[in-house]
Every structure is written in structure tokens, then in C-alpha cells.
Amino acid sequence: MAHIIHVINPSFVECAVSVQALFKPFQLGTLQLSTRVVMAPMTRSFSPGGVPNAKVIEYYRRRAAAGVGLIISEGTVVGHPASNGYPNVPHFYGEAALAGWKQVVDAVHAEGGKIVPQLWHVGSVRRPGTEPDASVPAYGPMEKLKDGKVVVHGMTVQDIKDVIDAFAQSARDAQRIGMDGVEIHGAHGYLVDQFFWEGSNQRTDEYGGSLANRSRFAIELIQATRAAVGPDFPIIFRFSQWKQQDYTARLVQTPEALGEFLKPLSDAGVDIFHCSTRRFWEPEFEGSDLNLAGWTRQLTGKPTITVGSVGLDGEFLQFMVNTDKVAQPASLENLLERLNNGEFDLVAVGRALLVDPEWAVKVREGREGDILPFSREALTTLV
């Protein structure tokens, strides 16, 4: 039975918000989820050689066993020579890595959960010397030189096609090994987002110029993925306004512009939009309390996932540097009200689930006092 969160508001009138909204089933076509709780994708770097191992399998299994309806895997790189940017990040290509992911899928399904891989290409973020082939430079929308050396290879039209083919093949492989869909990583200043963002895409061909042209790469990538997996395999697309390089960046400034940006992506084959924000409770545009997921749902008619400091009182950027800060469990009242009002459909939980695999079941059973706080130390192990 779902717990009721009792909150004393400033006027001392007790109100109650049921957590039941988080634990209602969700269905979209073939995708049936037991709860609205989603595990957000979080890079963990515990897959030496790019292969998920027994610890990774157990890491995901435990969340599925404790009430997470949908797991979105950590970013997993597609089969392109320049896709990776970090050590020990899992691959989504090659026999060994796919066999490891098949074991993850089977473990999650055995617990009644669903899982999709987040398909990733880091683009120009890749640094010289990065595995698996240290000699391969970064790829990006535009060439970048440093001390006379090419540190970012400006992608040709053929390069664009090759990357699109790699995403489509990874999606095909995800379907083959029993994944429940795929998420395309189009956020946070990585390759797909680098094409969106005017600051990193000043191409003069059909992939540069207007935002419509800068979206062409993503649109073609989504179309190719859809063609690879057929009409019924769910495609999630993650996007953000903010970038790792600029937390105040705004891809669009108005709801109208957001609608113009999202419609071609939606038409290309996106089933669910994953709307990345740093704090889910912040309004996206003046004059409305709707967050980015709320606006996206309203503008596209497609289901959305909200994300951003859910369940914690401190946002994740505080933990990107060495710090002894601790994020304590926070009230879910605002989130639950928005979910009950239909502002968004699903809720992605990041660090709260990273540190506490039983976060969802503790919320459901009213055991908020047992939820573990998050500190940077949690990033050093797989729990």
C-alpha cells in the first residue's frame, strides 16, 4: 500500500500527497512498466575493456528488484572509432560487450524490470590518448587545431553517415539481445548536442546554419534507428538546454521555439522525450510553472521523463569536484503534485538510486528515514 507523505505547510494546514502516482503502471505500445520510477543514466566506469561484468550485472539487478520500473543504462558507446571519451566505459558493440549486456538484460527481466541502453558518442569531448585506440582523434562538427595538430576532426558527410550507421547497428543489437528499447543521448554537449548548439556547430553545409539545419544530424540518426528496429521498438531521446561547458546555455528561449525544435525529432520516430534539467522544480520559461518535461509533453503530445535532483536537497554539479558535501533526502511533495497533475509521465532518479538501490521501495513503504544520503564517496563503488 502506498504511503502518504504528510507535510505541514507554512500556514500550518496539514496536506497529504500520496506516493501512489510513482507506482502506477505505465504503458506505451509494447513497453509496459510496473512503476513510473526510472533509473537515470549515470556514467560509472566499472567495465574494463568495455565489457559489463558480474558487478555491473548485480548493480542493475538490485534496482530492478526494488521497484525501479525502467532502467536507463549508463552511457554506452556505439561502434565508431571515436565514440568513447572515458576509461572503463561499457561498449555497445562487439561480442564480449553484447554478451555482458545480455546478462544484464536477463537479470533485470528476472526481477520484473525493464531496461534500455543509452547509446552514446562523446564527439569533440574525446581527448588524445583515450581508449580503445589512443591514436584516434576526437570527431566533431568542426575541426579544431592545437599546436598545429588536429585534436578534433571535423566530420565529413561520410563520417556523419558512419556514425548514424553505428547508432542504428547498436539499436539493432539492443533489440536482438532483448533490451526493451533504446535511449539516444542527445544532451549535455556530446556529439548529437554539439550539432544542435551554435557555439560548436558553425558548419556551412546542410548540417549547419539554422537550428533546423543543425538538427538534421539528429533527425537522420533517429530515422535510421527507427528503420533499424521497426515501428514498435521504443526510442527515447534525451536532450538538454544546459551543457557541461556552459550551465546557463539555452538552445531555445521560448515555448514556440522549443516546439519548432522538437517537432521534427518527434516526427522522425521518438516515442519518449527525456528532458534533462539540473533541478526538476524550476520553470523552463517565464509565465508558467511547467518544467522542460512539462512543456515538451504539451508541445509534442509524447510522454516525457523528468529528471534533476529528485529526492535530494543538493544538485549533482556540487559533486563534480572533490568535496565533502552530503546531499540529504528531500521532500517529494512538489514532484508528486506535478506527476499527479500530468505534467510528465515518468520520473528519472539519479544519485538517490546510485547510493541507495532500495530508494523506490523505501519511498513506497514510507521509510524515508531509512533512505541513504549521497556523498561523492558513493561514486567510488558499485552498490
- The model's pLDDT over 93-121, given as tens digits with 9 standing for 90+, comes to 999 999 999 999 999 999 999 999 999 99
Specify the pairing of strand 26-28 against strand 31-33. Answer: antiparallel
- Give the model's confidence band at 14: pLDDT under 50 very low, under 70 low, under 90 confident, else very high: very low
- Give the model's confidence band at 323: pLDDT under 50 very low, under 70 low, under 90 confident, else very high: low
- Give the model's confidence band at 315: pLDDT under 50 very low, under 70 low, under 90 confident, else very high: low
CB 156 within 8 A of CB 88: no
- The model's pLDDT over 249-273, given as tens digits with 9 standing for 90+, comes to 789 999 999 999 999 999 999 999 9
Residues with active-site annotation? 190
Bridge partners (DSSP) listed for residue 348: 38, 307
Give me the domains of the chain, ranges plus CATH numbers: 20-380 (3.20.20.70)
Specify the pairing of strand 346-349 against strand 304-307. Answer: parallel
Please give the pLDDT value at position 143.
97
Alpha-carbon span 39 to 206, nearest angstrom: 36
Please give the pLDDT value at position 8.
34
Longest dimension (CA), the chain: 67
CB-facing half-sphere around the CA of 201: CA atoms within 13 A: 28
- The model's pLDDT over 123-152, given as tens digits with 9 standing for 90+, comes to 999 999 999 999 999 999 999 999 999 999
Q: What percent of the chain has pLDDT over 90?
A: 83
Please give the pLDDT value at position 148.
92
